[in-house]
Amino acid sequence: MQPPRADAGRAACPHDRGRNGEILTRLTHKIARVTGTCRSATQALLNGADADPELRRELLAGIDEKLQELDLVVENIAAWRALELDTLLLARQPLDLRSLLTPALARWQYVVTKRGLGWRAELPGQLPPVAVDPGRILQALNNLLVNALDYTACGGAVSVRAAAQGSEVWIEVGNTGPGLSAEELAHVFEPCFSSVHQGRFPQGVGLGLAVARQLVERHDGRLTVDSETGQGLRFRIWLPQSTASSV
């Protein structure tokens, strides 16, 4: 029989309870927004919108997009808990980063342009191999892109770039949103962080950036951010190039 963990039965501290309450509140609003959108689209289809093939395709694509948003929220909550318990496992393998990014960015191009935003993706013809868990790195990247969408007004733009630099490879997600002050940047990776530019109810649950940073760090990498008020945000995932000992 295993002895109980030292922290078993420990009451959550007030800070933990407050943070968890905030996450639950945001999750409630997120679920309500997703289900509301899906319900409206479903009702339209039931009322005859499926007779128009183009409209039917658009409504179904909208439902799929919202469900994928919810999938990412669930993945982030599960990852956050696993990170807290130190039970997150990585299935790292050497791979070509370009082959991983290309199909993922094709989907994001559709999502971004559908919202009336500009899109630019710049990937070099070749990138050095990296030893990563592809699902977890895509999760981190998706979190950065969701954040970029949340902070970019209609008419703005989102960009993704990648390059090799020294012994590392970086992936940059940028946007033309309002940016963050130096004070806000100091807290941007904290759970439940909200900028003054967000509305009363933030779009996300508040774990995306915190999870992204920890996932990158578990790959022996780092996640950096650069911004000036009014100049948008630029997040960079830095990953070490693959070596025999990095898998």
**Taking CA 104 as the corner, what is the angle to CA 98 and CA 106, rounded to the nearest 5 degrees?**
100
More confident residue, 1 or 85: 85
Residue 65, domain member (yes or no) = yes
Predicted TM-score (pTM) above 0.75? yes
Residue 3, domain member (yes or no) = no
Pair 106, 206 in one domain: yes
Percent of the chain with pLDDT over 90: 52
Tens digit of pLDDT for each residue in 191-204?
Answer: 877 765 554 445 66
Final residue belonging to a domain, choices 67, 85, 103: 85
Using 50, 70 and 90 to split pLDDT, how confident is the model at 23?
A: confident
Q: The CATH number of the domain where 77 resides is what? A: 1.10.287
- CA dist 79 to 57, 100, 218, 239, Å? 32, 21, 12, 20
Final residue belonging to a domain, choices 31, 65, 85: 85
Residue 5, domain member (yes or no) = no
- The reported pLDDT for the residue numbered 244 is 56
pLDDT at 21 over 90: no
Final residue belonging to a domain, choices 85, 120, 145: 85
Mean local confidence (pLDDT), 61-90: 90
Mean local confidence (pLDDT), 158-169: 97
Domain that holds residue 58: 14-85
Pair 188, 103 in one domain: yes
Residue 8, domain member (yes or no) = no
159 DSSP β-pair partners: 120, 174
Using 50, 70 and 90 to split pLDDT, how confident is the model at 184?
A: confident
